[in-house]
Amino acid sequence: MKDELVRASPASRRKRLLFVVGIGVMALACWKLPGLLALPTDLSQDGALALARDLFGKLCFFMASVAGIAAAWSAVTAWRILRTPQWPLPGALVGQDTLIRRGRPVYFRAYGLLVCAAVLAALAVWAALLPGRFVAVLFP
């Protein structure tokens, strides 16, 4: 059987370059973000505590959102792989020429993504429940 390839289009290569540039921008933002989020020194203890509670709640909400989106993507991708047992999926844009895989490794990938989706969904629920449960303990 001859190996089949999915050819990379110029548009997908541009998207890959844009993705790498986006990661660089995010890395720069994370590098500079601690200085931007520094707590004001002129706050009273109650004000600093309220600010810390607020930041903790926002961090938990962000973590729950990211985990929920990743869980949904993993589940949808796993079901699509199980319906059409090949990787990359038909019609997928690839950044470089990629061999089409079929058979047992593809099923292994699909079931791995389903397990990943379940773990991420549990993490999202945990992160959503975290502020209400631990704020009284962490910030008395």
DSSP for 48-77, please give it.
HHHHHHHHHHHHHHHHHHHHHHHHHHHHHH
ω into residue 90 within 30 of 0, thus cis? Answer: no
Q: What are the start-end ranges of the E strands in the chain? A: 5-6, 86-87, 98-99, 101-102
Q: Evaluate whether 134 touches 39 at the Cβ level (below 8 Å).
A: no
Residue carrying the six token digits 């999915």: 6
Predicted confidence at residue 65, as pLDDT, reads 92
**Rounded to 5 degrees, what angle do the CA atoms 54, 56, 58 make?**
70
pLDDT in tens, 83-125: 999 999 988 888 788 899 999 999 999 999 999 999 999 999 9
Give pLDDT tens digits for 30-87. Answer: 777 666 566 556 667 777 777 777 778 888 888 899 999 999 999 999 999 999 999 9
Which residues are registered as beta bridge partners of 98? 6
Q: What element of type H or E holds 43?
A: none
Q: State the pTM of this model.
A: 0.71
